Structures are given as C-alpha cells and as structure tokens.
Structure 1
C-alpha cells in the first residue's frame, strides 16, 4: 500500500497513526495539494489527502473511509467496536473531531490564501465558533473518562489526538489546554504512544 499525504495534515496523521497501531507496512509519498505541480488529482479527483493506493492500484480516499478499512485488515489493536451503539459512538467522536479540524482549516485558509481585501472576518469568526463549540463538547463528553469511549483506546482517541495536535501546531493562540484540563490529560497520554510520537506535525 502507498499513502499519499502531507506531514501537517491532521487527517493524514490520523491514517498514519492507524497504520502504526495496526502494524501495517506502507510507503509514504509526500504531496503538497496547494503546490502548482501537485498531482493528487490523478489519484483523488477531489484533490485532497490522504489518499491510499491499494495493492491493485486503485485509490481509496477520505480519512474516515481509510481508517475504517484499515481496522479490518488485522486484529491487532482493534480501533472500532464491531457493531451497534458503541461503534456509532466512536464514529460520532471522529465526526466531531474531524469537524473541528475542518473548521479551523477553513479559517486558516481564509486568512492565509486569500488576499487581505477579499478576506471575510465574519466567515473566519463563524468557523472559529465551530472550533470552540466542538472543543467544549469534546471536553463535556470526555468528562473524567480515561479515553473518549470509556476505558478503551479507540479511533475516537486517534481522531481527537490528531485534531488537538494540529491546533497546537497551527493555532497556538487557542488555549484549549488551559480551558479543558481533561483534554490536556488525554492528549498528553496519547502523545506518549509511539504512533503519535512518530507523526508529530511539522
């Protein structure tokens, strides 16, 4: 398998963490989707990473689809419950985490890629409101639990850890560690895992 992605993307990092936790071998091909010479559209018509190239050459995209597929390849470190409400709960956590990252990314793109005279402060504020609301719900749902879904490490924790790490990387002015001590504790615990240590965004 080959993973096409960038070091800084929280979605690519999520897939890399899953690959590491599942102990799956793969080649990592760096791609800058914003570069003038990007070729990502040849693998993913949506022009996004991550994109996983399968053994038969066919592409798989969207980090949620990829992560769920990878979890089926080996019983090592099962990250998704097999069925029912528990499985749905983990996927809701992932959707929330990915949504926070998406809103923050949209705000950053507005401020960094668009000319100053074309930027919309209202748009940025709207996206950042989603970020802060999402963090508050993450903290409330985590409570005093050791992991997002009770006592077990799951894909929910992978997604949340990657989003929080990306916020530290790109939005250090958001003091989520100071505002939500339980998220900080979870993040520090996750950061000790080799899969997280080896995929820190830069």
Structure 2
C-alpha cells in the first residue's frame, strides 16, 4: 500500500490525495507539519517539501505534479489527462497556473508572519493571485469540467487552488468575481475525493520566519 506524507492545508498534497482516491488506489495518510523539527521529510525528499508518496519497496516520489504524472503512468486506469494533445496541454497549463497561485499564497502567508512585512512584496503576490485566478476562470469558461468532457487534472488543479483560498485568503471575494469558477468548485466539492480532503490550517510549532 502507498503512504502519503501530507499536511492538512496543503493544496499540493490535496491534489495527490484526490488523484489516489479517484483512481481507487488505497493509501495511508501521514499528516505532518513540514516546518517543524519532528517532520520525517528529510529522510524521503532532499528538498524537504511535501507531498511525498512512499512506495511499498521503500522508495519515494515527490513534488505534486511529478507524483501525478507517475501515478498516471503506473496506473493508467481512470486517466487524469485527456486523450488529445491539445487537451493535455490545456490541462497542464491549468496546473501551472494553479500551482503558481498557490505558491503566491504560501509566500504571502509567510511574509505576513514577519514583524515588518514588505508591502511591495505582498502587493506583487496579490497581483499573481488575482491575475492567476482571472486566467483560470477564463480558461475554464462555462464547461462542466475544466478541460474536455470528463474529470481530470484540470479539475483537480482548479478545485484545489480555490479550496486553498478558504484557508489562506478567505477575505478574497473570488466567488463574486468568478462565478463560473465558484460553480465548478461547488460541483467538485460534492465528489467523495474532495469531501474527504477538505483543507484546514495547522499549528506550526517551530518558528520559521
């Protein structure tokens, strides 16, 4: 059985949790705070980042987009990507945008922890968040699924980025700005894989800023 090192708020880990569930692959969830000294991450990922997928043979796979690619190649049933090249590229583009927005939210979170946060830095990250969400909403449009006519990587990416907003950027009125993205999110959150992985904040014991 696979084991997944995760953190409760992490949109990157949530992507993998959803993919594993949608593919019907059993796994054990190992919840950690990656910033605390008690984390096991250095043993499994030299970059000390999660998620990390621990394999039955003792190996590990890390970085969310690579884990998803690894899972799709190893377990091609219920594919995460469309069958056509344009669809694959569209799904990958959404994943890049969504990961970039999540990165900006993480950077914002830690900058806000500093005693004297940089207004210019926070404004730059806010532009990335606003611009990224607007582009995600434009690309998704009014379709039932983010890309093509079936659930896949684009839905996982778009669904997890807006889910993370509730944890780190709840003040952002993204639902009124992007009602089509809100409608997609509502549909996705009804799926068992999404309901079982709703993100929430963790307490960080060790000071990191």
The RMSD of aligned alpha carbons is 1.3
- 1:134 is aligned to 132
**Are the aligned partners of 2:87 and 2:148 in contact in 1 as well (CA < 8 Å)?**
no
CA 39–75 in structure 1, closer or farther in 2 if over 3 Å, else same: closer
1:15 pairs with 2:16: yes
Give TM-score scaled by structure 2 length: 0.91
Give TM-score scaled by structure 1 length: 0.94
**Are the aligned partners of 1:68 and 1:80 in contact in 2 as well (CA < 8 Å)?**
no
Deviation at 1:95, TM superposition (A): 0.8
- 1:61 is aligned to 62
- 1:167 is aligned to 165
Deviation at 1:188, TM superposition (A): 0.2
DSSP 3-state at the match of 2:150: coil
- 1:92 is aligned to 93
> Of 113, 118, 121, which residue of structure 1 is paired with 2:119?
121
Deviation at 1:186, TM superposition (A): 0.2
- 2:46 is aligned to 45
**Are the aligned partners of 2:82 and 2:148 in contact in 1 as well (CA < 8 Å)?**
no
Unmatched tracts of structure 1, length 5 or more? none
Deviation at 1:145, TM superposition (A): 1.5
Superposition map of 1:72-83 within 5 A: 72-82=73-83
2: CA distance, partners of 1:161 / 1:120: 30
- 2:180 is aligned to 182
1: CA distance, partners of 2:135 / 2:11: 19
Unmatched tracts of structure 2, length 5 or more? 201-209
Deviations along 1:79-100, whole A, 9 cap, x unmatched? Answer: 1124622212111111111111
DSSP 3-state at the match of 1:174: coil
> Of 141, 144, 152, which residue of structure 2 is paired with 1:143?
141
**Are the aligned partners of 1:97 and 1:160 in contact in 2 as well (CA < 8 Å)?**
yes
